[in-house]
């Protein structure tokens, strides 16, 4: 696998957290199958520019101008994220 120059989807504006002694400032979206034996990175549309906002069809939503530290947006959002058996990322059942 060649990870150089590979576009992936990364949620923005998440609070940094310590992971294994290193502060993590990002999260890469990577769905897995039900038994977590296969994991694949979520790739944006081929024509998406680096840094471009990517959305699910029918769920364009505008980002919040300001989030409080206790808003728990990620926790609310992740409840509706899942992947199909083919590891296609879905939000509210929309690929």
From the first residue on, what is the mean pLDDT of each consecutive set of 10 residues in the chain (95 residues)?
A: 77 82 88 84 89 84 67 79 83 87
CATH number of 1-95: 2.40.50.140
Task: Give the residue from 31, 26, 6, 29 showing the smallest Cα distance to 16.
Answer: 26
Prediction pTM value: 0.69
At 47 the pLDDT is: 92
At 21 the pLDDT is: 93
Q: How many CA atoms lie within 13 A of 53 on its CB side?
A: 9
Q: DSSP H helical segments within the chain, as ranges?
A: 73-78
């Amino acid at each position: 696998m060649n990870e150089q120059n590979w576009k992936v989807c990364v949620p923005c504006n998440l609070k940094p957290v310590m992971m294994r002694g290193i502060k993590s400032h990002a999260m890469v979206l990577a769905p897995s199958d039900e038994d977590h034996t296969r994991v694949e990175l979520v790739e944006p549309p081929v024509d998406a520019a680096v840094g471009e906002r990517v959305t699910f069809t029918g769920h364009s939503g505008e980002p919040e101008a300001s989030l409080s530290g206790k808003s728990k947006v990620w926790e609310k959002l992740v409840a509706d994220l899942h992947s199909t058996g083919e590891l296609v990322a879905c939000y509210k059942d929309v690929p």
